[in-house]
Amino acid sequence: MFGRRIALGLAVAASLATAIPVQAGFFKDLVDNMQLEQGPLGNLGNGSGSGGSSNRTSGGGGLNLNLNLTPGGSFYPEQVNPSRVPGRQFKRQVVNFKTDEKAGTIVINSRAHYLYYVLGDGKAVRYGIGVGREGFGWQGTVSVGRKAEWPTWTPPPEMIAREKARGRILPASMDGGPKNPLGARALYLYRNGNDTMYRIHGTSEPWTIGLNVSSGCIRMVNNDVIDLYNRAKVGTKVVVL
Indicate the pairing of strand 194-201 with strand 123-128.
unpaired
What number of residues does the chain have? Answer: 241
Q: From CA 130, how far away is CA 219, in angstroms rounded?
A: 5
Q: Which of 172, 183, 174 is nearest to 153 (CA)?
A: 174
Q: From CA 89, how far away is CA 23, in angstroms rounded?
A: 16
Looking at the annotation, which residues are catalytic? 201, 217
CA-CA distances (angstroms) from residue 138 to 56, 68, 107, 143? 10, 6, 13, 14
Angle between helices 26-33 and 2-18 (to 10 degrees): 130
